[in-house]
Amino acid sequence: SALTQPASVSGSPGQSITISCTGTSNDVGGYDYVSWYQHHPGKAPKLMIYAVSNRPSGVSNRFSGSKSGNMASLTISGLQAEDEADYYCSSFGSSYGSISILFGGGTKLTVL
């Protein structure tokens, strides 16, 4: 995948976890267009964070995003059973005159 995420993370209810997303200066590091999506298999993916650290209306404030250089992060605090899902980062990317939306390989979050 164009962006690098850990394949899996886990945590107990109430704990906090962080998922990293590493790209390059042509995508994550070059633009503030990093988003995070939650995907329960068989359902429509859901936007959780956009423009690095903004939450859409209706998304819990337990979800937060940040970026430093070429790496973005998603932090989920106060883990709940319903947070168990696949999480994908994405970024706008540009190189050699063409644009794209790049995704990470996805991180499976297990709530123990």
Residue 101 interacts with another protein (CB under 8 A): yes or no:
yes
User: For residue 5, which of 18, 94, 13 has the smallest C-alpha distance?
Assistant: 18
**Residues touching another protein: how many (CB under 8 A)?**
27
**Cα(107)–Cα(104) distance, integer angstroms:** 8
Residue 92 interacts with another protein (CB under 8 A): yes or no:
yes
Residue 56 interacts with another protein (CB under 8 A): yes or no:
yes
Residue 104 interacts with another protein (CB under 8 A): yes or no:
yes
CB 2 within 8 A of CB 64: no
Altogether, the residues listed in the chain come to a count of: 112
Chain residues 22-51 in contact with another protein, contact rule CB under 8 A: 31, 33, 35, 37, 39, 42-47, 50-51
**Cα(107)–Cα(88) distance, integer angstroms:** 6
Nearer to another protein, 13 or 56 (CB): 56
User: For residue 110, which of 92, 73, 83, 77 has the smallest C-alpha distance?
Assistant: 83
Cβ 108 to another protein shortest distance, Å = 11
Residues that bind another protein (CB under 8 A): 1, 31, 33, 35, 37, 39, 42-47, 50-51, 56, 88, 90, 92, 98-106
